[in-house]
Amino acid sequence: MISWVQHQTMSTERPEEFSDPSASRGEPSLSSRPQATVRPETTIVVHGETVRNQDSPKDKGKETSSRKEVSEAKLKLQSRLPALDDDADVGVQKQHLITRDGKADLTFTGTLLASAAPSSAPQGSWKEYRIYSTNGGKHVFSKITRSVEAEKQDTHEAEVFDPAPSSVPSKLLKSARELTHSRPLTWTDAAVAFFGYDPLAKVLYRKLGDQFDEHIT
């Protein structure tokens, strides 16, 4: 039998303290082990509940890099639409230089008869139409396509109408004759062959009077 004294002695002894088994094997203890990395959080609402999860800096970098750089100079041009830089030149005789892509540029002394541009360019691109008359009796048609993107070059197209049939580009001559049913070709016919009848072209034509309208009886 265990005496009362022995029982008391056993009950007052401290219980055995258990050590971390990993420490005895030379492994880092639980307290010293690296903790799992927690991703940054953002707030997302799902069915009325708030869930936090944050985009990583890498995702933000991708969004920033996808944005295209714009030209400050062309943003200024866009902000002034439908006004153009050479509006003050309409009706003024002066020396002109017309840029053409893939062809020789045109230089002449003459008058800017009319120009047209859209009232706005929400997508960041727009067209500019111009018609000139030269001192030699010719007409010059110019079409410029612009974009506010810095890496995108503007495009320049231009054609010359000379009353002499041999000087008119065959494509313009053919399409103009089809439009006018073989009547004598005029500079207005050539203008329609070049610009067409899109809304901006009609704005351009209205500035030149009613000579582009189809008159019927």
Q: Which pLDDT belongs to residue 80?
A: 95
119 DSSP 8-state letter: S
The total number of structural domains in the chain stands at 1
Structure tokens belonging to residue 147: 């974009």
- What does the pLDDT look like over 98-145, one tens digit per residue? 999 999 999 999 999 999 999 999 999 999 999 999 999 999 999 999
Please tell me the predicted confidence (pLDDT) of residue 28: 54
Tell whether 101 is covered by a domain.
Answer: yes
In a domain, 214, yes or no: no
48 in a domain, yes or no? no
What average pLDDT does the segment 3-27 reach?
48
Instruction: Summarize pLDDT for 174-202 with one digit per residue, the tens.
Output: 555 555 555 678 999 999 999 999 999 99
Residue 213 lies in a domain: no
Give the DSSP H or E segment for 76.
Answer: helix 72-80
Which DSSP state fits 71?
Answer: -
Q: Let me know if residue 14 belongs to a domain.
A: no
**Domain ranges, residue 184:** 72-206
Three-class secondary structure of residue 87 per DSSP: helix
The per-residue pLDDT for 184 is: 74
Q: What is the pLDDT of residue 37?
A: 53
pLDDT of the residue at 15: 46
Tokens representing 145 are 């396509």
Domain membership flag for residue 104: yes
- Say if 135 falls within a structural domain: yes
For the chain, how are helix, strand and coil distributed in percent, rounded to 5?
A: 30, 25, 45
Residue of 177, 70, 76, 90 whose CA lies nearest to 130: 90
CA quadruple 149, 204, 174, 132: dihedral sign: negative
What token pair was written down for 49? 């509940």
Whether 122 maps to a domain, the answer reads yes
